[in-house]
Each structure stands twice: as C-alpha cells, then as structure tokens.
Amino acid sequence: MVTITSTYQGGLRCRAVHGPSGATLLTDAPVDNHGRGESFSPTDLVATALGTCMMTIMGIVADRHGIDLAGTTAETTKEMSTSPPRRIATLRTRITVPLPADHPQRELLERAALTCPVHESLGGGIESPVEFVWRG
C-alpha cells in the first residue's frame, strides 16, 4: 500500500507527496478549466501514468530476457470530453521502441505494455488505443 498526501495550495494548485519516498509534485488546473496551466493537471498525470506504466512493465519483461529498451519513448495524447461531465475521453499512446520490427520478443513486449496496471485500470469509459513503432 502506498499513500499519497495532497494539499490544496490555493489558486487551483495542489502539492502531492509520495509517502514512501517523500518526492513531491505540483498540479495546476489547465488553462481551459480556469487554471494557469503551469504544471501537470490531474488528468495529465493519468496520461503520464499510462505511458510510464507501459514502459515500466515492458522494462521488467525486457530485463528478464536480457533486452535493452533504453531510449524507448511513449507519447500519450489526452483528449477531454466535449460534453458534460468533464472527463478524459481518449488516451492515445504511441510507443517507439529502438529495436527492429522482427525482434523475436516483440509480441511479448507489446503484450506486457497492454497489460500494465494503469491500462488494465482504465476500463471501458476511456478509449485507449496503443500504437507500437519499432525502429531498429
């Protein structure tokens, strides 16, 4: 179990502290929702969590098989709903892997990404297509 303690700082900004490490981050409301957009919004963190979780799980599997995934990138584009209630409608992710498309563990690595805890937690309410680009 991990506890994150968040404190409202005023001005639509929050400070969050990761209990185990003490690491902190700030969130700010986006400009299109009355904020200054000076930091990640809470929904931006969901998009961030998706891309980083996919690469982390791929990394765990890659380490088990002696595969170097250094330089892999995930680009997640968040789209908000256009009708109420305001919510994340779509998270499109493109994962670029610096390995050849015919890599023998390609399917294993892609499956690992698609079964990361964040992707599994999204449910059917958020469209979450994933594209893999292999460049080696």
Do 25 and 73 fall within a single domain?
A: no
**Helices H / strands E in the chain, number of each:** 3, 6
Q: Which domain holds residue 16?
A: 1-40
Q: How many structural domains is the chain composed of?
A: 2
What is the pTM for the complete model shown? 0.94
SS3 62: helix
Q: How far apart are CA 104 and CA 109, in angstroms?
A: 10
Do 106 and 121 fall within a single domain?
A: yes
Q: What is the pLDDT along the chain (136 residues), one digit of tens a residue?
A: 999 999 999 999 999 999 999 999 999 999 999 999 999 999 999 999 999 999 999 999 999 999 999 999 999 999 999 999 999 999 999 999 999 999 999 999 999 999 999 999 998 789 999 999 999 7
Do 50 and 117 fall within a single domain?
A: yes
Do 31 and 89 fall within a single domain?
A: no
Do 16 and 45 fall within a single domain?
A: no
Nearest Cα to Cα of residue 6 among 44, 18, 134: 18
For residue 59, what is the domain's CATH number?
Answer: 3.30.300.20
